């Protein structure tokens, strides 16, 4: 088969930092090719080179058999290369019609608006993927998945031959991901090549024909997807060996006394939930989006007031009416959306880690002693292996995995008895994910009781001693360690 895209020896550096050190990427016509790699491996840079937004320092670009000594964004579009960015490049304040039609109208050099023509273009676009949407709706009122479909149908309008999707599943629910994959399959049938950028194992295996992995700006491997295994994939991405099974097997089941007992608890979002949690135990709470798992975690942290049942902490009934009560009892929650709920992004790493400790670290008059903050934060940065050169840097400069470590550090600094983590590794790359799982095991071994709320079954299997499965606000299964398998978890979730 011919190649739709062949780039060789692409080099690109920014102010002395080599983002790409001679990357090759060859994509055959009509295939779905996956480009994988951890954050900062150069994925985004190579996409921008291919789409003409960056001028490479060296290397050749060939699209559909034609050489491009200089590639501009307009050249790329003419050659049939379209990028679906993570933000979809849409205008939330404008209608679906305008979002779909702008690119083409501008490309044709038109100066005036012809509403009929706009509608025609838009209708042609959505017809390509059988996408049903209110054409006159403002895009900001649509769900994320629809915004993505707008971006895809718009890309198809320009006679796209190669569509590059930059982490397209990040903000989608499972159902939406499924629909996206169906669309990708359809596009493939119509001879359109897809470059799928992702670091999510399961998706990569499900969708792609071949895989290219980058690490720190260099090619690691390119091979058919059939020759790739999960272990190899993780190894090539990070250069480290991980074994989730080993991780799961190594976890010792040594419990201490009971620290938390939930009895017939009901609250908005769930009903009649009972379970017990012991010192040193890691309990999984799993279920699909909307199953009530998040609401349950909020109730245990005083953020979702129960309507019936009770919560016992260390044998005493606890009235968890607000967060400070929960904190007094030694309960900590690492929230689902760490960016909005768990971190002060523009603030320094030091301040983020020590924010829950200000009271304890303050001097006699209530003034905060800077040196004690630095000391405390340095301890945690070291303990959790946060990769940073300077603790004064704002948290937003860190990668997703390291941000998550800072959130963890913030709560661990308070030395909680019960640690609840909601989606602890959502959006975190594979290496940091493994580190976080190992850390959870270590914390449990030191006697902390942990609840992991997650829809990632692999995560539940790797970390938990037992798991409750929720569906529609109720418990539909309780699985012990030996029963924790993908199949049984899936079965219980329905």
Smallest gap from residue 340 Cβ to another protein (A): 15
Q: Which stretch binds another protein (CB under 8 A): 56-64, 83-91, 196-204, 273-281?
A: 83-91
- Work out the number of other CB atoms within 10 angstroms of the CB of residue 222: 16
Give the rounded distance of the alpha carbon of 60 from its chain centre.
33
**Helix or strand (DSSP H, E) at 361:** helix 358-361
Smallest gap from residue 92 Cβ to another protein (A): 6
**Helix or strand (DSSP H, E) at 476:** strand 474-480
- Whichever of 92 and 191 has its CB closer to another protein, that residue is 92
Site size toward another protein (CB under 8 A) is: 28
Residue 455 engages another protein in binding (rule: CB under 8 A): no
Nearest to 440 by CA among 455, 462, 457: 462
Smallest gap from residue 484 Cβ to another protein (A): 24
Residue 94 engages another protein in binding (rule: CB under 8 A): yes
Q: Which stretch binds another protein (CB under 8 A): 81-89, 164-172, 345-353, 409-417?
A: 81-89
- Whichever of 172 and 378 has its CB closer to another protein, that residue is 172
Taking the C-alpha atoms of residue 46 and residue 50, their distance in angstroms, rounded to an integer, is 6
Cβ–Cβ < 8 Å for 120, 104: no
Smallest gap from residue 315 Cβ to another protein (A): 36
Position among 98, 167, 281, 295 found at the interface with another protein (CB under 8 A)? 98
Taking the C-alpha atoms of residue 117 and residue 101, their distance in angstroms, rounded to an integer, is 9
- Whichever of 147 and 357 has its CB closer to another protein, that residue is 147
Residue length, the chain?
494
Taking the C-alpha atoms of residue 47 and residue 212, their distance in angstroms, rounded to an integer, is 13
Position among 57, 67, 87, 328 found at the interface with another protein (CB under 8 A)? 87
Q: Which stretch binds another protein (CB under 8 A): 111-119, 156-164, 273-281, 442-450?
A: 111-119
- Whichever of 142 and 350 has its CB closer to another protein, that residue is 142
Residue 346 engages another protein in binding (rule: CB under 8 A): no
Smallest gap from residue 91 Cβ to another protein (A): 4
Nearest to 369 by CA among 377, 16, 491: 377
**Helix or strand (DSSP H, E) at 270:** strand 270-278
Residue 40 engages another protein in binding (rule: CB under 8 A): no
What burial class does residue 446 get, using C-beta atoms within 10 Å of its C-beta: 0-12 exposed, 13-18 middle, 19+ buried? exposed
Taking the C-alpha atoms of residue 36 and residue 198, their distance in angstroms, rounded to an integer, is 5
* Tokens matching residue 60: 């050749």
Position among 15, 16, 69, 112 found at the interface with another protein (CB under 8 A)? 112
Taking the C-alpha atoms of residue 11 and residue 310, their distance in angstroms, rounded to an integer, is 61
Q: Which of residues 221-260 bind another protein (CB under 8 A)?
A: none
Taking the C-alpha atoms of residue 334 and residue 327, their distance in angstroms, rounded to an integer, is 12
Position among 89, 216, 219, 356 found at the interface with another protein (CB under 8 A)? 89
Binding track, positions 472-491, relative to another protein; x by CB under 8 A: x-------------------
Smallest gap from residue 74 Cβ to another protein (A): 8
Nearest to 7 by CA among 15, 17, 33: 33
Smallest gap from residue 171 Cβ to another protein (A): 14
Q: Which of residues 126-155 bind another protein (CB under 8 A)?
A: 134, 136, 141
- Whichever of 288 and 414 has its CB closer to another protein, that residue is 288
Smallest gap from residue 220 Cβ to another protein (A): 30
Position among 105, 406, 419, 453 found at the interface with another protein (CB under 8 A)? 105
Nearest to 462 by CA among 179, 157, 246, 286: 246
Position among 58, 65, 92, 256 found at the interface with another protein (CB under 8 A)? 92
Q: Which stretch binds another protein (CB under 8 A): 104-112, 350-358, 381-389, 398-406?
A: 104-112
Smallest gap from residue 295 Cβ to another protein (A): 11
Strands (E), 394-481: 418-422, 449-453, 466-471, 474-480
What burial class does residue 53 get, using C-beta atoms within 10 Å of its C-beta: 0-12 exposed, 13-18 middle, 19+ buried? middle
User: Which residues lie below 8 Å from residue 229, measured CB to CB, with a gap of 6+?
Assistant: none
Position among 25, 63, 81, 90 found at the interface with another protein (CB under 8 A)? 90
Nearest to 33 by CA among 277, 169, 198, 230: 198
**Residue pointed to by tokens 């012990």:** 480
R_g of the chain computed on alpha carbons = 25
Give the rounded distance of the alpha carbon of 440 from its chain centre.
19
Residue 91 engages another protein in binding (rule: CB under 8 A): yes
Binding track, positions 264-293, relative to another protein; x by CB under 8 A: ------------------------xxxx--
The binding site for another protein (CB under 8 A) comprises: 73, 85, 87-94, 98, 102-103, 105-107, 110-113, 134, 136, 141, 288-291, 472
């Amino acid at each position: 088969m011919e190649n739709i895209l062949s780039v060789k020896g692409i080099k690109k550096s920014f102010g002395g930092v080599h983002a790409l050190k001679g990357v090759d990427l060859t994509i055959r016509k009509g295939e779905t090719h996956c480009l994988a790699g951890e954050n900062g491996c150069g994925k985004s840079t190579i996409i921008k080179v291919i789409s003409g937004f960056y001028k490479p320092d060296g290397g050749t670009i060939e699209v559909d058999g034609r050489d491009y000594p200089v590639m501009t964004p307009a050249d790329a579009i003419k050659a049939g290369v379209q990028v679906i960015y993570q933000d979809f490049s849409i205008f939330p304040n404008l209608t679906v019609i305008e979002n779909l039609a702008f690119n083409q109208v501008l490309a044709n050099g038109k100066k005036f608006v012809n509403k009929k023509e706009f509608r025609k273009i838009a209708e042609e676009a959505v017809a390509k993927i059988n996408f049903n949407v209110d054409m006159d709706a403002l895009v900001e009122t649509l769900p994320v998945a629809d915004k993505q479909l707008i971006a895809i149908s718009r890309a198809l309008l320009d006679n796209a031959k190669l569509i590059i999707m930059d982490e397209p599943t990040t903000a989608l629910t499972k159902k939406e991901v499924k629909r996206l994959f169906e669309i990708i399959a359809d596009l493939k049938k119509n001879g359109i090549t897809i470059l799928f950028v992702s670091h999510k194992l399961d998706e990569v295996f499900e969708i792609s024909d071949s895989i290219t992995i980058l690490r720190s700006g260099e090619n690691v491997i390119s091979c058919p997807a059939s020759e790739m295994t999960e272990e190899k994939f993780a190894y090539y991405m990070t250069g480290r060996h991980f074994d989730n099974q080993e991780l799961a097997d190594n976890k010792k089941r040594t419990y201490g006394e009971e620290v938390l007992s939930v009895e017939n608890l009901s609250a908005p979002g769930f009903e009649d939930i009972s379970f017990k949690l012991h010192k040193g135990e890691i309990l999984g709470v799993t279920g699909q989006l909307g199953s009530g798992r998040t609401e349950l975690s909020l109730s245990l942290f005083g953020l979702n007031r129960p309507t019936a049942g009770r919560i016992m902490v260390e044998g005493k009934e606890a009235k968890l009416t607000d967060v400070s009560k929960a904190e007094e009892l030694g309960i900590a929650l690492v929230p689902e959306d760490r960016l909005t709920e768990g971190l002060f992004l523009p603030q320094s790493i030091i301040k983020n880690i020590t924010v829950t400790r200000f009271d304890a670290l303050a001097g006699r008059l209530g003034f905060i002693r800077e040196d004690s903050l630095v000391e405390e934060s340095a301890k945690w940065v070291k303990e959790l292996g946060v990769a940073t050169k300077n603790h004064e840097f704002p948290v937003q400069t860190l990668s997703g995995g390291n941000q998550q470590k800072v959130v963890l550090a913030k709560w661990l600094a308070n030395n909680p008895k019960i640690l609840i983590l909601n989606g602890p590794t959502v959006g975190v790359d594979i290496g940091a994910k493994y580190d976080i799982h190992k850390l959870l095991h270590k914390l449990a071994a030191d006697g902390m009781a942990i609840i992991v709320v997650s829809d990632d079954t692999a995560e539940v299997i790797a970390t938990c001693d037992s798991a409750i499965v929720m569906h529609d606000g109720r418990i539909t299964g309780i699985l012990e360690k030996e029963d924790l398998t993908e199949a049984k978890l899936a079965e219980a979730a329905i």
